[in-house]
Chains A and B, each alone.
Chain A
Amino acid sequence: DVKVTQSSRYLVKRTGEKVFLECVQDMDHENMFWYRQDPGLGLRLIYFSYDVKMKEKGDIPEGYSVSREKKERFSLILESASTNQTSMYLCASSLRQSYQETQYFGPGTRLLVL
């Protein structure tokens, strides 16, 4: 069964703190993605990675960085958290093979920045 896990369900951080969100998948998928989800705006892609040590910017990368040192693990880093980064963060993974690109999501991390 497909499984994507995220390190925390809820996080509360202070403005200026460095925040790490971790995602692990056990499906041997090449692609991994980080989204944020806000009411009325839907899911917006922050970064994605199609291979180890590879990364590409999504639609809203400002204020974020990512790391992918192992195939199964993709980390999202908020270098200096700000209140406008309060959101639901969702990780997903998929195969890179054409017509097999269904993305499977983790349970999400709800981040509150005070």
Chain B
Amino acid sequence: EDQVTQSPEALRLQEGESSSLNCSYTVSGLRGLFWYRQDPGKGPEFLFTLYSAGEEKEKEKLKATLTKKESFLHITAPKPEDSATYLCAVATGTASKLTFGTGTRLQVTL
């Protein structure tokens, strides 16, 4: 059974304090790893897709990397508006389904 574990569950940062969120996975046949941002009461917003170990993607202050066992989402110099829950998901098999982790709740304070 595919498993996705995100850590930490919650993270509190001061504005400007860079950090990384972790997503570790145990799957058979990874087809893609996805990062989403979710604001309270809203649907997840797509950030990145990574397909193979060694791949990196960047978007503004976010950078996602992938190894054979885990992915990291690095956030540089965060601001309070970056506060959200960050979700990781994996696609395996042939059915286009995703298995989600339970997310990291990030709070950035002034």
Given contacts A99-B31, A103-B34, A104-B46, contact A45 B103 (CB under 8 A): no
Interface-facing stretch out of A13-21, A60-68, A79-87, A106-114: A106-114
Q: Is B44 an interface residue (CB 8 A)?
A: yes
Interface residues on A, range: 20 to 34
Given the interface contacts A43-B87, A90-B43, does A103 sit within 8 Å of B102 by beta carbon? no
Q: Decide yes or no whether B22 CB sits under 8 A from chain A.
A: no
- Selected contact of A58 from candidates B41, B43, B97, B101, CB within 8 Å: B97
Given A58-B97, A94-B96, A99-B32, check contact A105 B102 (CB 8 Å).
no
Min CB distance B25 to A, Å, is: 14
B102 near A101 (CB under 8 angstroms)?
no
Q: Using a CB–CB distance below 8 Å, which chain B residues touch chain A? A: 31-32, 34, 36, 41-46, 49, 51, 87, 89, 91, 95-98, 100-103
Question: What 8 pairs across the A-B complex have the smallest Cβ distances?
Answer: A105-B43, A42-B102, A43-B100, A108-B43, A105-B44, A101-B96, A42-B100, A107-B43
